[in-house]
């Protein structure tokens, strides 16, 4: 065998090198905790894959986003329509042709495209998918009632198709989990002597009081809207929203139901996360029409987060503001996937959408590198330079409306993939120069995009879920919709005056002139958590004056934010 075996193996290797290429060779396959392998999927089972076609015009997209988002640019606010975005990024005709020809060659003819023509969502049998993507082998994984089809082995595509694709979705990445935290242990009661002013947890009136919102600060415009996106079988119930507003909404004008659900709204129990998002975006963005994007596992082979991006690329009239509490470790995603999603956020920015992501609930995070040393662990999309990332704070005295300090869980840090965008260089350098307690430089990448951009309260919220009021709900999933609602209110005032909406917020936020710096309360106390080791001993970065990678620029002071970003 030996003498014959070697040349055969070499020939096979050479042949496969010529014919096919791995598309995401750096995409790890890791079955997350709680998921278990069930079986190899029978060949006749159908599945859906999402193909990300290589776009054109991405350099022009980047400079366009810079112009339309920078208040100092003459093109500020001159956003693209969905059709104009398509003209800019749609794949070249030879790309569309090469991909179609490849798919049709394998009998794949059930594909749906999007308005920007840069994604295809295709339905096929497992046996077809395994022939189309040599190497892939589909298995079923289960977690509780939910199952997904995934390939533990890498996939390839023909060498002549590879340059036309960024990635194929629905093979390796599992739906990311983001759970709100419950801190029931924190119930030690208010300090005696302060009973007159104490509160037992954060409610809409506490949020509105802290951020100086008055009864006048509610939406007026019928065609302004805001949205939150839910993934993973997370449903809200209209009855919970109504009850929440009845209990907590008496001091401000508001709506009591979600106006539009895009996608699939299951009948199951309400999720705490979904209830939280909806109830708080509707409390700061009060009386503004609210949409919920709900992509709860329509098809077990999809990546629900990608499915949401496809909806954005396929809908011309969208809410201007989107709050998303979702994230994954940056190092668990392939470079081509990260780059492409970053381009999708640029597409949204070019259209004037404001996309806010929660910064995560693990502080700086922690990861052991292959050599055994620890480093911090950034989270994505929080680490994208084209989204606005929201961290978390607590009241210094948890029972009083006092100044805010760092919530030790607040996600923050530096990307290892995306370099630091121009808009934040001065602010971040200032922090790096002046922070007295910087972690060792081997723990983070000081040339990367640094986050969060701003913050809000993330501790001890009241939420109504499944008709029950629940206290002590915490996490940046709470602060993100609070900020989103305020941005939607600023948009409301701008639109009423005939001004464009804010769009991608960061260039304006980092570029605020000194007289408008009080648009945010600077949070200067407290550190967030990180690696539990002998070097950093559980501590990540610490808040300080001006911007920091724990609370960003701080928390909104609504009337001043409106003065800074609203109509003159
Ligand atoms: C995008 O919208 C068009 C028109 O409504 C529809 O035909 C198509 O199926 C949609 N694409 C996806 C991926 O859902
Ligand atoms: C907002 O509230 C803070 C205290 O919560 C107060 O110091 C400040 O004067 C208020 N008004 C404005 C416009 O900042
Ligand atoms: C609430 O918004 C609607 C438009 O959507 C507006 O007509 C109404 O006046 C607003 N309510 C209050 C109390 O301002
Ligand atoms: C919102 O309504 C106003 C007044 O009816 C109108 O001028 C404006 O074009 C509308 N804006 C959008 C985005 O539909
Ligand atoms: C781990 O850290 C130590 C001390 O900083 C350093 O000397 C060593 O080279 C690092 N090891 C690896 C594999 O990076
Ligand atoms: C640090 O970040 C830059 C991007 O800003 C990246 O090119 C580089 O590879 C990163 N270094 C490490 C060690 O991850």
In a domain, 153, yes or no: no
In this model, does residue 174 exceed pLDDT 80? yes
Rounded distance, CA 52 to CA 58, Å?
A: 14
Nearest protein CA to atom 1 of ligand 2, as residue:
212
pLDDT in tens, 183-224: 655 445 555 555 556 778 999 999 999 999 999 999 999 999
Average pLDDT, the chain: 92
Percentage with pLDDT > 70 across the chain: 93
Nearest ligand to residue 440 Cα: 5
**DSSP category for residue 186:** G
Rg (CA), the chain: 24
For the chain, the 3-state helix, strand and coil shares in percent, each to the nearest 5, are 30, 25, 45
In this model, does residue 8 exceed pLDDT 60? no
pLDDT of residue 3: 38
In a domain, 348, yes or no: yes
CA within 13 Å, CB half, 122: 23
Residue 313 to residues 345, 449, 468: CA-CA distances in angstroms? 11, 25, 37
Starting at the edge strand found earlier in the chain, the sheet holding 181-182 runs 181-182, 468-474, 461-465
In a domain, 31, yes or no: no
User: Residue 297 — very low, low, confident or very high, per pLDDT cuts 50/70/90?
Assistant: low
In a domain, 495, yes or no: yes
Q: E strands within 255-288? A: 260-264
In a domain, 8, yes or no: no
Nearest protein CA to atom 5 of ligand 1, as residue:
314
| Mean pLDDT score, 122-150 | 95
pLDDT in tens, 467-478: 999 999 999 999
H-type helices in 77-223, by residue range? 82-89, 93-105, 126-132, 204-210
The answer to whether 54 and 95 have CB atoms below 8 angstroms apart is: yes
pLDDT in tens, 224-241: 999 999 887 778 999 999
Rounded distance, CA 365 to CA 340, Å?
A: 24
pLDDT of residue 153: 96
In a domain, 349, yes or no: yes
pLDDT in tens, 406-448: 999 999 999 999 999 999 999 999 999 999 989 999 999 999 9
3-class DSSP assignment, residue 413: strand
pLDDT of residue 137: 97
Nearest ligand to residue 252 Cα: 3
Which residues, 6+ apart, have CB-to-CB distance to 101 below 8 Å? none
In a domain, 352, yes or no: yes
| Mean pLDDT score, 345-373 | 96
251 pocket-lining for ligand 2 (C-beta < 6 Å): no
pLDDT of residue 493: 98
Mutate which of 557, 561, 562 for ligand 2? The one with the most ligand atoms within 8 Å of its CB, which is 557
Query: What positions carry a catalytic annotation?
Result: 273, 277, 477
pLDDT of residue 269: 85
Phi-psi region of 172 (alpha: psi -120 to 50; beta: other; left: phi over 0): alpha
What CATH code is carried by the domain that includes residue 460? 3.40.50.200
For residue 456, what are the domain limits?
181-511+522-565
**Closest atom of ligand 2 to CA, residue 212:** 1
pLDDT of residue 295: 73
Q: How many domains does the chain have?
A: 1
In a domain, 424, yes or no: yes
User: Residue 175 — very low, low, confident or very high, per pLDDT cuts 50/70/90?
Assistant: confident
257 or 299: whose pLDDT is higher? 257
pTM of the model: 0.94
Query: Whose CA is closest to 97, among 46, 192, 36, 161?
Result: 161
């Amino acid at each position: 065998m030996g003498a014959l075996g070697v040349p055969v193996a070499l020939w096979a290797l050479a042949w496969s090198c010529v014919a096919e290429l791995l598309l995401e060779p750096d995409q790890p396959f890791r079955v997350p905790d709680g998921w278990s392998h069930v079986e190899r999927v029978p060949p006749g089972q159908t599945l859906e894959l999402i193909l990300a076609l290589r776009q054109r015009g991405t350099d022009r997209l980047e400079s366009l986003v810079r112009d339309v988002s920078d208040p100092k640019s003459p093109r500020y606010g001159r956003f693209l329509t969905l059709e104009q975005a398509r003209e800019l990024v749609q794949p070249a005709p030879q790309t569309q042709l090469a991909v179609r020809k490849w798919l049709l060659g394998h009998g794949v003819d059930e594909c749906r495209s999007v308005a920007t023509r840069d994604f295809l969502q295709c339905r096929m049998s497992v046996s077809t998918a395994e022939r189309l993507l040599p190497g892939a082998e589909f298995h079923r994984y289960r977690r509780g009632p939910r199952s997904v089809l995934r390939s533990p082995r890498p996939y390839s595509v023909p060498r002549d198709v590879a340059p036309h694709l960024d990635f194929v979705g629905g093979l390796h990445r599992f739906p990311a989990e983001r759970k709100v935290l419950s801190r029931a242990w924190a119930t030690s009661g208010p300090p005696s002597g302060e009973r007159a002013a104490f509160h037992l947890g954060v409610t809409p009136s506490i949020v509105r009081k802290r951020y100086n919102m008055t009864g006048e600060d509610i939406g007026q415009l019928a065609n302004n809207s805001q949205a939150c996106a839910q993934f993973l079988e997370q449903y809200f119930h209209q009855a919970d929203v109504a009850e929440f507003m009845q209990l907590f909404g008496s001091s401000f004008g508001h709506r009591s139901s979600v106006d539009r659900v895009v996608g699939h709204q299951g009948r199951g129990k309400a999720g705490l996360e979904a209830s939280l998002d909806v109830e708080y975006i509707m409390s700061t963005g009060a009386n503004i029409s609210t949409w919920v994007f709900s992509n709860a596992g329509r098809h077990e082979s999809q990546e629900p987060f990608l499915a949401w991006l496809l909806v954005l690329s396929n809908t011309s009239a969208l809410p201007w503001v989107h709050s998303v509490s979702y994230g994954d470790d940056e190092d668990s995603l392939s470079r081509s996937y990260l780059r492409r999603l970053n381009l999708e956020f640029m597409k949204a920015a070019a259209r004037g959408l404001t996309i806010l992501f929660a910064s995560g609930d693990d502080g700086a995070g922690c990861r052991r590198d292959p050599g055994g040393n620890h480093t911090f662990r950034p989270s994505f999309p929080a680490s994208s330079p084209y989204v606005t990332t929201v961290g978390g704070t607590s009241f210094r005295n948890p029972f009083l409306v006092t100044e805010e300090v760092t919530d030790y869980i607040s996600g923050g840090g530096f990307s290892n993939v995306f370099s630091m965008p121009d808009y934040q260089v001065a602010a971040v350098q200032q922090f790096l120069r002046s922070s007295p307690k910087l972690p060792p430089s081997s723990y983070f990448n000081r040339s990367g995009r640094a986050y969060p951009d701003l913050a809000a309260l993330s501790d001890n919220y009241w939420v109504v879920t499944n008709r029950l009021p629940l206290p002590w709900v915490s996490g940046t999933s709470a602060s993100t919709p609070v900020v989103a609602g305020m941005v939607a209110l600023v948009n409301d005032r701008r639109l009423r005056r005939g001004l464009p909406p804010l769009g991608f917020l960061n260039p304006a936020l980092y570029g605020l002139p000194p007289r408008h710096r009080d648009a945010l309360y600077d949070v200067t106390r407290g550190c967030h958590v990180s690696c539990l080791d002998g070097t950093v001993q559980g501590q990540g970065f610490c808040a300080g004056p001006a911007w920091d990678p724990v609370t960003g620029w701080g928390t909104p002071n609504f009337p001043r934010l409106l003065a800074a970003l609203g109509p003159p």
